[in-house]
Chain A
């Protein structure tokens, strides 16, 4: 078993940041990912900061002369020429980009795949929690379903030119092809699915490869049967007698070699001998063409079904297939030995048809000539040479043989991406999981890595161990988790995709939670309440109470500091931030005490109302509530007095205010630091002209409070009170008013 590090790219780099093609095997020289142009004099001083996810923010500053502290500790440095400064800040999003995908397209795939991923994770949870209920469905079947959803999110499958499902020739549908560009991503995805997920595929693997090749032959390389057939299609538009052209026969032979029978039949039907306005006698020739066409449309195939209308006969049961195939093969052999060949007087047709027969008979040389890519050759061999072999074993060595016979013939030096693709496909064929992971991470982006791991681990125990084993050198996380974390970081980079990241992070047992908390805390929640609520929804789903509290607090403080007082209080209440709320209560009281305009008093009352629900929880606020009643009472007496009212009514209102005052000064209601301003406000009631409002015992209560204040002053434990307030005249004024009232009350009693 090769060690993973040995085959990993860049000598064991986890997730390459650099573009494919620019990487070098020499790990000591990393590639330049990007060059920033600046106008700073000399070498810039660069400050580095990571933004969201993979965004790197670089500040290019003018290099300053070092501040010479000893010589000039306090002096101003002469300012460097200002204005047209060369410093600048740039933001660079790191990571591999697929040039063929627009960002919007990438996001569309991300949205579509997150659902499939989340669903698969929930299936896994269900299996763990209640394994009995999942009885009947194997895990790989769930993964297959997942694989299908991801694959369909990547766009529709392709088809070779000229086949029934080929849409590229129809201009009205060509738009679609542009939109869903066929990508190697989807090709490799489906290839992985065949070998790593679909257990059923093993029994009809050659046919799965035929189908796969039909869909993706075009993306394998620039020189495949796909381009050959595409050229032929173009040419045929202008050919009256295609059978005179060698390319026509080559095309048919190629399509036949790789099992694209519908194309073969379609092309054969273009043969000139089918035309009605025949001058020559082409009956025999036509008969031969038709016989071949019929034989081809009866070709037995070992697969559950064929698409409706396509040539061939499907057999799901291997013995039946074997029987049918042998019978069919003998018919082909009989045709090969037929005497009619001698009567065919069109040499191109004779030669062409003979070639087709040879392919059907599995002639190695003809198969080699009819195919161009090694995987085409492999498919051709599986179809025509070894139709019964149990191919799942030894497929890789077979593939290598095909590859070698190919390279020896005509393939020139292909580009490095294609090389990588070959390596990857060989590794998949050979079930060489380490190489598969290494090559995929070289070729594809974090999206692919995070999602493909599910395919690898669907049924392979070895891959499960490899990917889920906790790695000490990675800080205790597994490779599976690593790739999910990296993809989450990519998602975090964009404000439209960060909400997808929690789904992947929640599937990371070690570091997912920590990353999720960081991600949420870094959201600009104070910019928009809506964003804050969306972040809070994530905290609700994943039960992140501490983060929710922080978000509430951040938004609350921001609102409070920026003049949205009510909103600030409401958010802080949700944060249960007693300390800040009581600070707010203090500030509100200060606003009360300073007696601002009536309008704002009303607003403040609204705020106290807002603070209301938490009354019992917070002493400071409950006091504020009562204080607002007291203030309202005082104001009512003032208004009433101004109107020359009925004395009894005036006395009642005054008494009400006095009651509020006594409520306030009951033990445990009002914090000590507010006693003085309240006592101060009460002077008006104490000096009530008509009669004393407070009786002797009530006055004593007030006096006691005053006394306690003075004692505190002596002890020096006046928390929150400016001692100067207690020395100034106002205190004497309160004392005097209390004494006067006491005297009057005593007289009255």
Chain B
């Protein structure tokens, strides 16, 4: 038996994007917290793309920030280029993405952990996990140190039972040459957790000076760049550009000639890979008729010459990788610095968890990130934050914090995981949210900052700033309601140029903004009384006016959904004993153990008639 190394309220295993948010949230809520990592230099590592955000993921980052999490602020501090994706496709799908300086991001996050009160960052491999009859958890390290904690959050990412595949070569490893967590998986299984294997992959990193950029399309950042965090006032300028190239017939031939050497096609990988993140060989095999595939060349940082080849992940042998990369325009002489690889790892079926991310059958044990079957830094950070908050609240004997689907993408992500489960690594998408017209990235603060404040993660300063912004917003709303433009030639000229009908009488500014063709920008000239406000205020006001009907309709749907969510189902119900439920419904309900009627209604195989039966059964058992 090892030595007693200390007692903590909350212990977090893993210091990736999930572990960081979990540890920070728990410590900031006043819990004595420790974060374990196999290598202190791998804190906040980005082993895949050097970017944060993107479609739907940008929503998650904004939401993490609105609740008082760290990812958005750090991304702003380390940004190299900002782009608002989907401009012109509608406000619901606007999504922010930052190219970031990968090393700086990791160092900044590590430093923040070190500076955080109530938080210890500890380099150690956890090899054993146990729980005693009092519900206390004991974590043993490779050095035989035993740490006691009231709650544990597992955020092991791709390290848990990690195994790397490159062609015929495979070996046990975490990402970037860091050793994997070899014993914890077995210990978790012994405890009674069901684990499974998932797989993911990453492209090669190559030397910048070996790329010929002369013929490649350039992708610039937005001017001015917009920050993630509501704390960031000024980002400064974009610092880099990205480039675009394409695969060709030659690339395709090289890959198809060598496909038998892919560990996936040779059947060596048992893990399930993400559908949305296919390797280049997957894309070529599955979409045989597509002549070419796009790739992005992204810098990894300002102090490095490593470049990331987005879209070109592969698990083919190194020499095949070199050959097919060389077939691509601009990469004819490219020098590989780190080869592409596939990595397989242990994760759990999230149906074993509640919406707090606590395991139903293991009180005080939480999971977050890839360990829960998701994929992506942002998905991990979001879950880490919620697991961290709930572990802390539990230790402090407080009510849990649950976000529902109508509140946020975070709530949608977690509800999808714990209600529907996932058969491949789960990625957030805007099409996964039925309430996407109200869950926009521009209004994450309105939706979540009051909740973050209530929990205790929003500082006084930030709260004041938020309240001030709301005040300015409502003043602006009043202003445009009372601003009336005369039917001048100037106004009609604007209207005609925007291809919308002219006016013959005075018109309120609010009514003009209702027209899809009209925005704040084009009225600038005649709107002489316009105050100098943060652009996000104009954005929110305009969207709320323009989409008022749709927003209203979605709010009504939300109200309906919330009524069902309020009808809580007791825990430990044996659904086989409820008469009137169909067999399929009984099975599914027993597996998922929904927390309320709303959740039950989203389980596939549970019909409206089954829900009626549950409602009656509920009122019978009041």
Question: A and B: partners?
Answer: no
